Structure 1
């Protein structure tokens, strides 16, 4: 695999001389948070994390993300956490866009760099500390793992994107490909994180309309994305949230590849009772 670039927010604050007009959009069906919104005034901090700031780009709330949260993390050298996850029922996915860090997961150490991916099962013991001369930058996606009869949580996984051949979509001649970190038919996983790549001219040639909720962070390139009834230009550093059944398609115009980190919820029955459903709890 060729060397990849992964966009990470630069922070700071736009100058007073810059025009305010931007590309941010929030609707009932989708949202776009453009990279220009990733200013230092919008960062947050987490209990138990030192020398760390983050942009919280998705969280469960009415009218927005229902199944996951997503943070864009920046951990300064020497920073990190010995108690990163407060919820024992939460599973986590980490994808690194820059810097170096040591992840200790259930007693085993792993060196993480740009392109590294880690799946952290619920109830895991883990720590993470930035070890390089520059900040460690990564996405942290969290979800409550949903049990199902006969299934146990998946094992931990640490791998790098460069070690996984992208799988071309059928009949696309390689212009549309997906890097899958886990097997799609492993039903223990109730969420998938993948990297989708379009070569210049590649398209989603129909309006995908499906039950999976999406979070898409553009790692590289630019494209025009169809979101519900609108065509929206997006580029590296932009984040998109798509609710279930939001029609979607895209056209990658070039000049280079268009690549994004994709979240979707999968492999579980529709909930009919309790929170988020119509039937009363049993």
Structure 2
């Protein structure tokens, strides 16, 4: 039987935390927090599945907490519901800008609260399943010994497999968000690789069947790699990025 989902409820007013907890405790494990910093601490220690986050708190407001969570690779997909007495359009826009997934007004309506939490958790479970399947596929590629990168339309690294991090000497999330060509490609090859990728991302040219060029490890060592690159597309056929699969040639030297 699946363990109960964890709901972190954050508000500097204890009565509000207790009331929302009362609405949810029959179906979820409720975790209370009474400040922004305590919320961040409990995200690390308790690993909640969703957060109900008050906006107006004295030490660190809800916008600041949400921004921290949504800019961290480890918590960027954690659903955050902003709970606020503020009703202005600018306040909602500010919440959207920091990555809030939903909004609830105070006083909280029980049916609305339960429905929003249930809906967001359903989406989270689906996303977790997709990520688990992706990770399983990545594990197969790790076993096969391939270096894998996924870069987006701006040439930023969105994903690196364990093999890639190990070969290049980086930690799990160190390369995420960095420009592939600027960080990893030797300076004398950077323009060539960048032009090739940009053409493929714009749909103006095709990638070669394979190409050999070195990448630079964290320690500055050039590692020869044979790359098999393919463009990635969404369901409408739009190009969204490039999957770079590399075979480490240094192991054959």
Q: TM-score range by the shorter chain?
A: under 0.3
Where relative contact order (Cα < 8 A, 6+ residues apart) is larger, the structure is 1
* Structure index of larger Rg: 2
Q: Per residue, is there more strand in 1 or in 2?
A: 1
